[in-house]
Amino acid sequence: MRDALNQAISIIEGALAEGGRACLTCSFQAEDVVVLHLLRQRLPKVPVMFLETGYHFPEVLAYRDQLTRDWKLNTINLQHPKPTLHPDTPAECCAQRKVEPLIAGLTGYETWFTGLRREQSPTRANLQPTEQHRFPNGLELTKISPLYDWTMDEVFAYMTVNDIPVLPLYEQGYPSIGCAPCTHKPEPGEHARAGRWGGQKLECGLHTITVKQE
């Protein structure tokens, strides 16, 4: 655990040393909260971007509000001004309620911190700690994933050691948490994101809409 933590700190500090405006996209799932906890020790007022889709579990919103209050976070709720699509069209709904607000919210930043981990799903198996990404509108950012090779056990161990409250939905059997209508508990032995979107897809588009620069 100590080696993993030191590596994550080194990744964060190296990214901040490069300069440029930095922000964190945060769903308030465990790995995002760990990155937030580490990041705010070095950047106390880091903008915390939360995608308000209108379909979150009540527990997620209560947890967001609790941490925002207790940690005095600079939480910014990103929301489509006039959402019309619904979870029965998951690809289009995610594009409208998540991807479009994300692109608008990230405009003006150069460094984008995330809580992505390789272990989360097959689509993230080749994740690198530092990547250059370009959005369809031309926006380019350096994407930083300090916990890229952490296990879920390491994530929860960090939260325990640092006395960080955990989103209650984990205790109910949800290892990956998105919008309530599109989130189910995976079957035993399945990866964490197998319960998302009824198995129709593994990504909402936030981390696949960009082009990774080689």
For residue 151, what is the domain's CATH number? 3.40.50.620
Domain count along the chain: 1
Q: Read off the pTM.
A: 0.89
Residues designated as active site: 204
Per the DSSP assignment, residues forming a β-bridge with 132 are: 142, 213
For residue 71, how many other CB atoms are within 10 A of its CB? 16
What pLDDT is recorded for position 50? 97
Cα–Cα nearest to 146, from 40, 19, 36, 49:
36
What pLDDT is recorded for position 186? 77
Tens digit of pLDDT at every position of the chain (214 positions): 779 999 999 999 999 999 899 999 999 999 999 999 999 999 999 999 999 999 999 999 999 999 999 999 999 999 998 888 787 777 788 888 888 999 999 999 999 999 999 987 777 788 899 999 888 888 899 999 999 999 999 999 999 999 999 999 999 988 888 888 888 887 776 666 665 656 565 455 455 555 455 5
Find where tokens 């580490």 sit: 38
What pLDDT is recorded for position 2? 79
Per the DSSP assignment, residues forming a β-bridge with 213 are: 132
What pLDDT is recorded for position 175? 82
Instruction: Render the burial of 131-149: b for 16+ CB within 10 Å, e for the rest.
Output: bebebeeebebbbbbbbbb
Which backbone phi and psi does 178 adopt, to 5 degrees? -125, -140
| C-alpha Rg value of the chain to the nearest Å | 16
Per the DSSP assignment, residues forming a β-bridge with 22 are: 111
- Cα within 13 Å of Cα(214), Cβ side: 0
Cα–Cα nearest to 136, from 205, 200, 77:
205
Domain holding 71, by residue range, is 2-213
